[in-house]
Structure 1
Amino acid sequence: MVPSETTASKTARRSFLTGAVGVAAALAGCSGSESHSSPPEDGTIVTDHVTATTRSTGDRPPIVAPREDAGGNTDDGSTAEPITLHTVESEDGAEAFEFAEDATNVAAARRLLAETDYDSESVFVFQTRIGECYRLKLNYVTRGDDGDPNIQFCRVIRDAHTACEREASDHTAALVRLPFPADGYDGLSAGSGGSCDPIPDRYNGSDSS
């Protein structure tokens, strides 16, 4: 798997990523910086996580609020852009989520947000475009020795009975509940690739859950 990569600049509580070609500009949640990256060389596998995915067709992504402005701040303004990378660290943050009318699996996404214990857990949100014939899948989650999580996504072919066009694309979003609070890490990174590669050997036998 060859993930897209870009470098995040971090402020005290917020950071904004300027995307490279093929990588949308991404907002970091209030807990720290986020970036598209390869998995760290050290750390452990995290298995105690929960994921929900949602999808929409047309021009609107499944998650329409909160949104991010040009400075990387989240708000609900109509001129701001939909989130691409985001960390949910509180019940107030979870309640700010709104979904497009045609978004799928919304009940599961809302349930994941509502049932998260933000004193000991947090939710990472990744939203992107994907080919109509594919679906986004969480490949694995790691946590570096510095405590920062890394989430790796991949894509798989949708069920054979699903009608799709090879050149068309949809929007998709994944919500991943992590078994540690947002103030338990200073940064967070995510990568996505075309194939669901095996977990690297350096993580085999390790488990931080």
Structure 2
Amino acid sequence: MSPSRRALLSAATAATASVALAGCSGTGSSESHDESPANPADGGGGDPPPYAYLRVDTDLAAVWRSRGDQSRREARRYPGPHVVDSQSRADDLEYADIDGVDAVREFVADTDFDAETVYVDQREVPSCYRLELCGASWTSTDIDLEYSRVGLAYDVPCEADAKVTEARFLRLPDALSHDDVTSMGSSTGTGGCPGDHEPVAGGEPPGHDDGTTTEGDSA
């Protein structure tokens, strides 16, 4: 018999607890996708800027750049980040047909690319969890985000062994160049963020109406 979702979450919680960390409190991180920027941050370093949100119930990308020599599925196969620094690059984006996508398109279209940049960060997340965006920092060459992973409420349907994709569209208040940004990283802790940073557009994060539970609470 396959293990229950609750048993799998308990195992994940026990594994996470073996590492001393404190999520976005600054004392540690459970995983790191890249080194922190070596240069001092030109912007951010605290609360994230306004952002839009999408969640896809598969491990395919929520947004991707169109390619004439690729099929639609091939282009979506590998979720990845995008630095959108012009209207032409924004026009190249294609989106999954999911709830909230029209609001995200509008959010991107409303960007003043003479003074702002949209940074798209998307990553796979276990289906029974979601990420909270705790903070952001950036320079002309580096972008770094802080996340916290939390378990969904017990009554939110999910598959314990499945992956989903979450995408966030951050409107950075600086005119960056996609050619100059060479490092895009993040760190992920647990325990929730010290502040509440909800998306301003797009889809509804799962479990939002029922409140947030930590990984320990959902086990």
Both proteins in one fold, TM over 0.5: yes
The Cα of 1:184 is off from its aligned counterpart by 9.7
Question: Quick one: percent identity of the two aligned structures?
Answer: 27
Relative to structure 1, the CA distance from residue 168 to residue 59 in structure 2 (aligned partners, 3 Å threshold; closer, same or farther) is closer
Distance 2:160 2:137 in 1: 32
Asked if 1:2 is matched to 2:1, the reply is no
TM score, norm. by length of structure 2 = 0.60
After superposition, the CA RMSD in angstroms is 3.0
Matches within 5 A, 1:14-29: none
* 1:60–1:171 Cα contact (<8 Å) kept: yes
The aligned counterpart of 2:117 is 122
Structure with bigger helix share is 2
Please list every run of 5 or more consecutive structure 2 residues that lacks an aligned counterpart in the other structure: 1-28, 195-219
Question: What letter is aligned with 1:100?
Answer: A
Matched length: 159
Of 156, 162, 169, the residue aligned with 2:156 is: 162
Relative to structure 1, the CA distance from residue 47 to residue 120 in structure 2 (aligned partners, 3 Å threshold; closer, same or farther) is farther
Question: What letter is aligned with 1:91?
Answer: Q
Relative to structure 1, the CA distance from residue 156 to residue 123 in structure 2 (aligned partners, 3 Å threshold; closer, same or farther) is same
* 1:46–1:143 Cα contact (<8 Å) kept: no
Larger Rg: 2
Matches within 5 A, 1:114-153: 114-143=109-138, 148-153=142-147
- Secondary structure, in 3 states, of the residue corresponding to 1:182? coil
Asked if 1:97 is matched to 2:93, the reply is yes
Distance 1:172 1:184 in 2: 21
Structure with more contact order per residue of length (Cα contacts < 8 Å, sep ≥ 6): 2
Please list every run of 5 or more consecutive structure 1 residues that lacks an aligned counterpart in the other structure: 6-35, 68-74, 200-209
Question: What letter is aligned with 2:65?
Answer: P
* 2:60–2:79 Cα contact (<8 Å) kept: no
The Cα of 1:41 is off from its aligned counterpart by 7.6
Question: What letter is aligned with 1:104?
Answer: D
* 1:49–1:177 Cα contact (<8 Å) kept: yes
Question: What letter is aligned with 1:176?
Answer: L
Distance 2:37 2:31 in 1: 9
TM score, norm. by length of structure 1 = 0.63
